[in-house]
């Protein structure tokens, strides 16, 4: 099912069912694993699981109070609640990243990179990654000199390192047709080379949060209220992606 729901969208349910039947008939697998296999039924099971827990156990949901300017400099912005903001703890993501197989590729000690010109024979500083930048070197030196010790282990002698957090966000369409979309916030570690981070299949990017989309109708109503505050109400609605679309996005990401 992971293979069927990832990469190419040219795979059909009929062909996958036929493949499962051929594997079953060839033998070598327990009969209960593939007997009666049906892609449509399995997808419904996956969607039902996503509906019950659309963002997984590690995500929290809160309502954000968004300040909206009134247009009058003498008045404070009005606060409007926006429900449905899902997020994960950054600490939990850092811990998961350093326990993942990619942690073997993390650069924990920064360095300066130079090349020697074949023409002038002079050395030239090269900036190619975050971990050979002056900022990273300065932060690493500062934490070695002034980094705090764990309050429950003041005699700690473990190495102190920098976890370089990089954030990125963009609206993502979930289907080839239609308007279904989601707006995730991603977290990636600058300790990894850009050649690893840039590979879509590397698994280097972590889903940190999902931003709910505010309907354009809300903007229209707010603009109207600036001129008619007493007579025009301020209802608004939030358009969130369905659990089915979120499930498809997560299956594609995996």
pLDDT in tens, 53-106: 555 557 888 988 888 877 778 888 888 888 888 899 999 899 989 998 899 999
DSSP secondary structure letter of residue 160 = P
How many C-beta neighbours within 10 Å does residue 187 have?
19
**Which of 52, 77, 94 lies at the terminal end of a domain, its last residue?**
52
**Do 13 and 62 share a domain, yes or no?**
no
* Range of the structural domain that residue 133 is part of: 109-161
* CA diameter of the chain: 78
Looking at the structure of the chain, the number of domains it has is: 3
Give dist(CA 113, CA 118) in Å, integer: 16
Tell me phi and psi for residue 113, to 5 degrees: -115, 130
Can you tell me which residue has the tokens 């059909």?
Answer: 12
Residues 103 and 1 in one domain: no
Residue 112 above 90 pLDDT? yes
Residues 45 and 70 in one domain: no
* Of 60-69, 112-121, 138-147, the least confident: 60-69
Question: Rounded to 5 degrees, what are φ and ψ at 11?
Answer: -75, 130
More confident residue, 49 or 229: 49
- The answer to whether 85 and 66 are in contact (CB under 8 A) is no
- Residue 30: the pLDDT is 76
Asked if 178 and 119 sit in the same domain, the reply is no
42 plus 90 within the same structural domain = no
More confident residue, 53 or 157: 157
- pLDDT for 137 beyond 90: yes
| pLDDT tens digits for range 183-237 | 899 999 999 999 999 998 888 999 899 988 776 656 665 665 555 544 434 444 4
**How far apart are the C-alpha atoms of 115 and 117, rounded to whole Å?**
6
pLDDT of residue 177: 67
pTM equals 0.60
């Amino acid at each position: 099912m992971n293979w069927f729901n990832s990469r190419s969208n040219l795979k059909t349910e009929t062909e996958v069912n036929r493949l499962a039947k051929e594997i079953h008939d060839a033998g070598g697998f327990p009969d209960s694993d593939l007997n009666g296999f049906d892609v449509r039924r399995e997808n419904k099971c996956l969607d039902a699981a996503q509906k019950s827990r659309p963002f997984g156990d590690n995500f929290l949901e809160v309502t954000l109070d968004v300040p909206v300017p009134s247009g009058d400099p003498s008045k404070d912005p009005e606060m409007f609640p926006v429900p449905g903001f899902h997020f994960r703890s950054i600490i939990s993501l850092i811990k998961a990243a350093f326990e993942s197989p990619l942690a073997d590729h993390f650069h924990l000690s920064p360095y300066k990179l130079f090349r020697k010109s074949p023409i002038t024979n002079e050395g030239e500083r090269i900036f190619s990654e975050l971990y050979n930048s002056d900022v990273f070197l300065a932060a690493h030196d500062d934490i070695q000199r002034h980094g705090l010790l764990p309050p429950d282990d003041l005699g700690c002698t473990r190495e102190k390192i920098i976890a370089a957090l990089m954030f990125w966000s963009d609206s993502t369409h979930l289907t080839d047709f239609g308007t279904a979309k989601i707006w995730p916030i991603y977290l990636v570690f600058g300790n990894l080379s850009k050649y690893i981070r840039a590979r879509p299949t590397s698994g280097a990017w972590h889903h940190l949060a999902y931003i709910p989309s505010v309907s354009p109708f809300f903007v229209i109503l707010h603009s109207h209220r600036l001129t008619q505050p007493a007579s025009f109400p301020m209802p608004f609605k939030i358009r969130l992606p369905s659990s089915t679309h979120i499930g498809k996005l997560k299956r594609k990401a995996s």
